[in-house]
Homo-oligomer: A and B are copies of this chain.
Amino acid sequence: MNSSLPEFGFSVKAKRTAPQPINYLISTALREEKLISLAAGLVDQDSLPAEETARLSGELFSDEAAGKEALQYGATEGLAELREAVLAHVCKLDGVSAAKLAVTPDNVVIASGSQQLLYIIADILLDPGDIVITEWPSYFVYTGALVSLGADIRAVEMDDGGIKLDSLEATLAELKRSGELKRVKIVYLCDYYQNPTGITLSAQRRKPLLDLIRSYSSEGRICLLEDAAYRELSCEEATPVSIKSHEADNAQVVLAQTFSKPFAPGFRTGYAILPDGLAEPVLNQKGNHDFGSSNLAQHVLLRAMSSGIYEEHVAFLRQRYRAKRDAMLEALHEHLGQFQPDQTRWTRPGGGLYVYLSLPEWMDTGKDSPLFAAALAEGVMYVPGEFCYGPDPRRTVPSNHMRLTFGTVDIPAIREGVARLARAIQRVGGRAAAGAGKASKAQSR
């Protein structure tokens, strides 16, 4: 009977929506039990605040009325006290007052991870064909969502200081010349320990970047979407203040942060500070999506913030991730320091979860490559860099990068994982180099 029915007629948007490329990696990882995954974007499991959450939940439910309030529906915008608390928290990180930012708790929205806010911002601003400027590479879950919404992605090069301002300006100038500036709706930056590269936008680029975006907002207000998910996982003392903190009039920068990385993903709670004109349209959409995220999670997180437990936990995590980052960087140096040293390099992130490894250009890291297969055979998985680009049809996706995370596995596994990876790289790289040598000999005949 089923087969006699015609198919469902899907929306244009559904047809544009692809499964996340990383689904393939997840299912592969699940099949291979002894695999060390340097791919999975999970957080460090051992350091998750189980004891703290148990205590905070216990305290919440020891007050019956408070417990019942937490179990009731919450507001679409989120718990008022939590919105106040996260605003105060962001102000503290940036060393500014809310008044200086021209922001009140009414500009704060709590959501199901910062991802939901990133998604809704795109949904309320983009019609198909509208332009989003991203870094190259960028966060692949979000670029997937942008594609689903029909966005035209223009990617801008990065260097070790983040997105290159001259390239960004050239892109904007070109869009102005071609009459497309009005379609530029969003500039999306993951500006702290970027996913996938681990690179942070340098302090000195932040204000000029905002000025640049503002100077090109002549035909329509461009939203600068600052995804600061990894911000609090800093390994160094000096972390630059947010781009948002350079904006005195709350006109165009959305600052999105989350409890997932610095506390626990299981709460699925993030937040954003929104310019005045965006809060209402965001809430109208969120009202349709789910009319509010878990009230219970928000009540527990409020207690985490007001008790100081949150801040203590972040300080603990920063130590922990620093040790893991150091282990990965040391292992890379030990095992790959001698491999094609003029063409092999990796980022040295100041925090976050990711290191980006670049191999000689002729080495393919793709999911169908000999190297990916060799890595799996050694018992290690990475995220092929090819997943992290675009799509910007004006650019060629490079095939010689990979994202490695030191977040998920423990230090011995980081060391062993990098050692396995290096063996795979040396084996495939050596063979390819030999092959390349032969080919070049053959050509020279």
Contacts from A to B (Cβ < 8 Å) = 1-2, 5-14, 17-20, 23, 41-43, 45-46, 48-51, 53-54, 57-58, 61-62, 64, 67-74, 76, 102, 111-113, 115-116, 119, 123-127, 130, 141, 144-145, 148, 182, 185, 214, 217-221, 223, 248-252, 260, 264-269, 275, 277-278, 280-281, 283-285, 287-297, 299
Contact = CB atoms under 8 A, between A and B. Distances in A.
B5 A221 contact: yes
- Which 10 pairs from chain A and chain B are nearest by CB? A54-B61, A50-B67, A71-B266, A266-B296, A145-B288, A14-B124, A2-B249, A71-B264, A268-B294, A48-B71
B1 A249 contact: yes
Contacts of A268: 290, 292-297
B5 A217 contact: yes
A17 B290 contact: no
Given A57-B57, A141-B287, A295 B67 contact: no
A46 B68 contact: yes
23 contacts: A2-B249, A6-B217, A7-B220, A11-B123, A11-B126, A11-B127, A11-B130, A12-B127, A13-B127, A17-B281, A17-B284, A18-B284, A51-B64, A57-B58, A72-B264, A115-B289, A141-B287, A148-B284, A266-B295, A266-B296, A268-B296, A294-B294, A294-B297
Given A12-B127, A54-B57, A144-B288, 13 more contacts: A1-B251, A5-B251, A6-B217, A8-B223, A11-B130, A14-B281, A17-B285, A19-B280, A45-B68, A50-B64, A51-B61, A144-B287, A268-B292
B221 A8 contact: yes
A445 B48 CA distance: 82
Contacts of A250: 2
Contacts of A223: 8
Contacts of A249: 1-2
B267 A296 contact: yes
Contacts of A9: 125, 130, 182, 185, 220-221
A266 B8 contact: no
Contacts of A275: 8
Given A13-B124, A284-B18, A42 B266 contact: no
Contacts of A285: 14, 17, 148
Nearest to A296: B266
Contact of A297 (B148, B290, B297): B297
A317 B219 CA distance: 57
Contact of A2 (B8, B251, B289): B251
A260 B73 contact: yes
Contacts of A119: 288-290
A250 B5 CA distance: 12
Contacts of A289: 112, 115-116, 119, 289
A76 B17 CA distance: 15
Contacts of A297: 268, 294, 296-297
A377 to B, nearest CB: 26
Nearest to A102: B2
A73 B43 contact: yes
A125 B11 contact: yes
B73 A50 contact: no
Contacts of A291: 20, 113, 115, 141
Contacts of A5: 214, 217, 221, 251-252
Given A72-B42, A115-B289, A266 B294 contact: yes
